[in-house]
Amino acid sequence: MRWIWIDRFLEFRRGELARTVKQLSLAEDLFAHHFPDYPVMPATLLLEGLAQTGGILVGEVNDFREKVILAKITKARFQREALAGEAVVFETTVQYVRPEGACVAGRVLIDDVLIGEAEITFAHLDQSRSQQVFGDRNFVFSGELKTLLESVRPS
């Protein structure tokens, strides 16, 4: 399974706001098990979609030099489920970006109706330690996540 839970950026305002969309297709593997005859997107994966949207938003502030790691979800609340066939929009707004980490406020919408909210804190992995453990390569922002962003970022 590919671990990417956003399909496309709808809007990107540097250091401020990012909006992405995820189309929930019944063909996706997860719906075979979650649940048979009742295909619902797990709330944890909705949070992952928010975190990917917010992680790119705050990572881009430092031109992806920092390794941005999901560290804490202070609160999360969902009003209803997201079902196969629906398009989920993830909207994240920067609360702060500091040298040690960052925080975004996230909203999940379907058809412009709010179905969930969360506040997500990211840590910047300690640079000296991360270089020791992982080398120079930024394993967080690689491949598809950055390619997705290129589609909305002015060149």
Partner 1 sequence: MLTQEDIYRKVSNTLVEALNVDEEEIKPEATLQGDLGAESIDFLDIVFRLEREFGIKIPRGELFPESIFQGDPEMVQNGKVTDKGMAELRAKMPFADLSKFEKSRDLNQISDLFTVELITRYVQGKLANSNGTK
Rounded Cα gap, residues 2 and 8, in angstroms: 15
Cβ atoms 34, 63 nearer than 8 A: no
According to DSSP, residue 3 is labeled -
Q: Of these, 62, 93, 121, 138, which contacts partner 1 (CB under 8 A)?
A: 121
Pairwise CA distance, residues 2 & 63, whole Å? 24
> What single DSSP character describes residue 73?
E
Q: Looking at 36, 99, 143, 154, which residue binds partner 1 (CB under 8 A)? A: 99
Contact call for residue 75 and partner 1 (CB under 8 A) = yes
Binding mask 35-64 for partner 1 (x = CB under 8 A): ------------------------------
Active site residue 33: no
Q: Does residue 103 belong to the site contacting partner 1 (CB under 8 A)?
A: yes
Residue 12 Cβ vs partner 1, minimum distance, rounded to whole Å: 23
Strand spans (E) along 14-100: 17-23, 40-41, 68-78, 82-83, 87-97
- Residues with a catalytic annotation lie at 34
Residues contributing to the site for partner 1 (CB under 8 A): 71-72, 74-75, 95-96, 98-101, 103, 121, 123
